[in-house]
Amino acid sequence: MTSLTAICQSEDKTPVEDILSHLENKFEVKFSYEPKILKHLKIDELDDNLSLNEALDYITLITKLNFVRLNDRFIAIKLNTENIQYLEEVVVTNFLTKGIFKTNTGAVSVKTKAFDILPGLIEPDVLQIIQNLPGILSVDERISNINVRGGTNDQNLILYEGIRMYQSGHFFGLISAFNPYLTDDIKISKNGTSAIYGNGVSSTFEINNTNDLSNNLNGGIGTNLLNVDGFARIPLSKKTEVQLSARRSFTDLFASATYDSYFERIFSDSQLNAANNNNRLFALNERFLFYDFNLKFLYDIDNSSNLRVNLLNIYNNLNYNQTFTNSSNNFQETRSRLNQVSYGASIKYSKAFKNNMFGSVEAYYSNYDLDAQNNDISNAQSLQQENKVEDYGLRFDISKRTNDNTTVRSGYQFNEVGVTNLENVLNPDFTSLTKEIVRTHAIFGETEHFSESRNTYLRLGARISYFEKLKELVLEPRFAFNQKLTDAFRLEILGELKSQTISQIIDLQQDFLGIEKRRWRLSNGEDLPLIKSQQISLGLSYNKNDLLISLEGYYKNVENISARSQGFQNQFQFSNDIGSFTITGIDFLINKRFNNLSTWFSYTLSNNDYIFENLNSSSKFPNVVDLTHVANLSLNYNHKNLKVGLAVNWHSGRPYTSPSENQQNINIIAYDRPNNARLNDYLRTDISAIYSFKISNKIKAEAGASIWNLFDQNNIINRYYTLDNGIINEIDNKALDFTPNLSFRVKF
């Protein structure tokens, strides 16, 4: 009995042997395999509209079987040795929609190849997809600001092919920076994270491209109203393959309705749109573009070992010129620019040994650079700012399956992270350059065990980290428990302790032109201590007859957060204090699936409060991302070649601090209690549709259309106040308005 039998055992599933027999008759092919590798292996019935390649891709995603075409008729099946060890069991398939799975570790896995459709999306944007899960959303609609159970985005560990990412979005946060068409699997852990991972107190997002050789040339090209992209999988030999993907915007050449809506959302509140009171804006000219590039090299050295190499580049560039006329009707021009660039590389060698042992060694390099130049002609001043992160990592790990039900794993990880901050001002002349480095050594170990009946799953682990600069040793236990109570009911208990050394702070709201104002900083043991978190959750689910009902309660506490990382725009905007936040909440989900229809309703009720030692007299006050109620009602319809999605998203208003009614000093704003007021409720309706068709036997195409905020709801997502000549001005940040998009894609 291999570990593969643990993946898909469930009621109302079909043996893989029966499915392969059906494919043989339908497509006139013949599968060659050793019968024991398919014994006890069952999966959901396949959609009868799938092509042979699509069917095989889907089976590979679920079972990790590897299909090798010997010729046009014969297909061999073998086990992929890299994936035999340490596999998780899928306990819920089609979680919300096709291609989303829940595992016994509490994690959610998204298989983009099998992904169906989600409302408002016409492409499988990896960081938009996960926001449909209960407890995950962005309070300001930006990919670069995803909040998981009350945490800030910098508290998320985002790994792309093992590379720690410090930039996750294009268009300064509105679009995922990861090309989805080579992405194979996205794994989201909100709690009970494996001890392998450190340095992220909120959640872990693992994004990986296809890891198996296809032995066939395939690819695609597509476009929407913002960019054009392409991908290809190119076999070099029977043992090697290259995967390529690239994307480039044409926003520097053509301004679509989508671009106009995105531009207004990002730049309306930035320094670039804040004209000098003594000047009149005459003209502006912006040039904005983004691109990304990814390369993956796969080498199956032999039946027991392989090598994987990845390269990644992400780029955003904005040049922004403004022409003003002053009181003398003379023209003056300001020139500003903002660059945001990431480079990444990783290499991983994996080896399967005798006696059910498996080992790997992985190294990565991650570089993030944000720099801005702002020339203010009216004040004869120039400001240059730069924030740079360099991250080197190395990890060894080894695992052993001691029997059919138990696996143990251990390893060592080293990280060196350096952060540089530069600020250079002309008139008056001022230069500040700081560089910090933190080195971390960590050992980890964990064991996972199934009962003989496979109704009980338990993973126990711990991570011990030593932070050189801080001279601090931290023990972080983790656990995940899943119990099948009946054929329909499951109980889940998750818990973890985590820490991280790097976070984002805001010195001034107008840093980096007010667009990307957050800058990375390292813990120093003084004004920025090591951030720590504790979390536990308890969940109960019912899953039978295509009906899923899930209820999960959680408690989460994060300590040693800086007031400068919270984005305060009230009396605490310039405060430098250390505090914590505690969130308690309940995530509820009900999902009913019919033949061609999937509909679900999710709801989160939570309470998220700060405590800062020197702010608000140490009394609790609401977190800036505290949303008491969050709800989503969605419907997906899939019939033959047509897919349609419709969703209504609602949440209660975000907190803000209003000015006090008793204003006595016209030179300063007197505020009421911190976060004493709430914005109006947020309401947004999204719709999307995709139609697929064949151009020829080997070429497929699909056309898509979507509308974000279908009814053009006026949603306010942030409110703050400024003072101008003794007059208090109320500033509202609006969410995206009516935003259409179109796409066309060809695959071969």
What's the mean per-residue pLDDT of the chain?
89
Confidence of residue 216 (pLDDT cuts 50, 70, 90): confident
Instruction: Flag whether 640 is in a domain.
Output: yes
Number of CB atoms found within 10 A of residue 729's CB: 10
CATH number for the domain harbouring residue 467: 2.40.170.20
In angstroms, the CA 413 to CA 615 distance is 38
In angstroms, the CA 405 to CA 549 distance is 28
The pLDDT of residue 279: 59
578, pLDDT greater than 50 = yes
Confidence of residue 46 (pLDDT cuts 50, 70, 90): confident
CB-count exposure of residue 548 (10 Å: 0-12, 13-18, 19+): buried
Q: Where are the beta strands (DSSP E) in 485-569?
A: 489-500, 502-505, 519-522, 531-544, 547-562
**Same domain as 75, residue 222:** no
> Which range among 9-18, 32-41, 409-418, 551-560 shows the weakest confidence by mean pLDDT?
9-18
The pLDDT of residue 12: 63
Domain boundary residue, one of 26, 57, 79 = 79
In angstroms, the CA 552 to CA 535 distance is 13
**Same domain as 222, residue 74:** no
Instruction: Flag whether 705 is in a domain.
Output: yes
Q: pLDDT, tens digit, for every residue of 154-182?
A: 999 999 999 999 999 998 888 899 988 88
Once rounded to an integer, what is the mean pLDDT over residues 538-558? 95
Domain boundary residue, one of 79, 114, 143 = 79
CATH number for the domain harbouring residue 54: 3.55.50.30
Confidence of residue 124 (pLDDT cuts 50, 70, 90): confident
Domain membership of residue 687 as a residue range: 218-747
Q: pLDDT, tens digit, for every residue of 685-741?
A: 999 999 999 999 889 999 999 999 999 999 999 999 998 888 899 999 999 999 999
275, pLDDT greater than 70 = no
Instruction: Flag whether 130 is in a domain.
Output: no
Domain total in the chain: 2
**DSSP states of 282-305:** EEEEEEEEEEEEEEEEEEEEETTE
Instruction: Flag whether 97 is in a domain.
Output: no
pTM: 0.89
Instruction: Flag whether 249 is in a domain.
Output: yes
Domain boundary residue, one of 33, 60, 79 = 79
Instruction: Flag whether 606 is in a domain.
Output: yes
Contact 655, 682 (CB under 8 A): no
Instruction: Flag whether 173 is in a domain.
Output: no
The pLDDT of residue 329: 72
Contact 38, 17 (CB under 8 A): yes
Instruction: Flag whether 620 is in a domain.
Output: yes
112, pLDDT greater than 80 = no
Confidence of residue 280 (pLDDT cuts 50, 70, 90): low
Residue type, 309: V
Number of CB atoms found within 10 A of residue 607's CB: 14
Q: pLDDT, tens digit, for every residue of 220-261?
A: 999 999 999 999 999 999 999 999 999 999 998 888 999 999
The pLDDT of residue 86: 45
Confidence of residue 5 (pLDDT cuts 50, 70, 90): very low
